[in-house]
């Protein structure tokens, strides 16, 4: 059976795969993300997330021969500025007050490394792409912002919001793939797998009762 290794500590990404019938092995990378971005120089957000996803997948891949290894990374772009995880509660409050009633672009990079027998090595055994979804934020009140930040949830995620958690009511709508906002685009993963000759159905281990 084909095994997928998720090179991410994100509970949301793991939950997304599980909901889609895939039970991956989780192997968190030790990539120095600021160093990767510093080495890349001034690159657009959609490229930055792809570079980080590639670094994570390549970091984990050597220890997982025989498997497919997936790295992911997400960033929110608002008016050309990249917003990762807020440093603290004060930054999360300030960010939400700036985002409310406006729209941003959530970029999620995906990189797949094929370590199965006979897959070869080098660039022919790996590929990636970026999912981009426009996110429209509700015009939330100061009280709602303060209450949301007090839960701690915005401190754990890129862009300081979730769409599948407590932040869901504060997202007025999206244009694009909902799963990409969560942090892992299932349609894009399906395409990357298909390019390796692997139907996503081959990864199904969790089926409805």
- Residues carrying an active site annotation: 73
| Structure tokens, 59 | 């970091």
83, containing H or E segment: strand 81-83
CA-based nearest residue to 96, from 154, 31, 150, 12: 154
Determine the Cα–Cα distance for residues 19 and 23; give it in Å rounded to an integer.
9
Determine the Cα–Cα distance for residues 56 and 61; give it in Å rounded to an integer.
9
Determine the Cα–Cα distance for residues 43 and 48; give it in Å rounded to an integer.
6
């Amino acid at each position: 059976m084909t095994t997928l290794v998720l090179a991410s500590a994100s509970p949301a990404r793991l939950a997304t795969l599980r909901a889609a019938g895939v039970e991956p092995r989780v192997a968190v990378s030790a990539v120095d993300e600021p160093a990767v971005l510093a080495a890349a120089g001034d690159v657009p957000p959609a490229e930055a997330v792809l570079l980080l996803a590639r670094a994570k997948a390549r970091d984990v891949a050597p220890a997982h021969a025989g498997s497919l290894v997936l790295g992911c990374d997400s960033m929110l772009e608002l008016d050309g500025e990249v917003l990762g995880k807020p440093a603290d509660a004060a930054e999360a409050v300030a960010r939400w007050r700036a985002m409310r009633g406006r729209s941003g672009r959530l970029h999620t990079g995906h990189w797949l490394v094929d370590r199965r027998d006979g897959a070869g090595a080098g660039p022919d055994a790996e590929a990636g792409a970026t999912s981009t979804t426009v996110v429209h934020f509700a015009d939330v009140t100061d009280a709602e912002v303060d209450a949301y930040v007090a839960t701690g949830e915005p401190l754990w995620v890129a862009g300081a919001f979730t769409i599948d958690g407590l932040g869901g009511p504060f997202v007025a709508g999206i244009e694009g793939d909902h799963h990409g906002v969560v942090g892992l685009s299932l349609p894009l993963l399906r395409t990357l797998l298909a390019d390796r000759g692997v139907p996503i159905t081959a990864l199904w281990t969790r089926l409805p009762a």
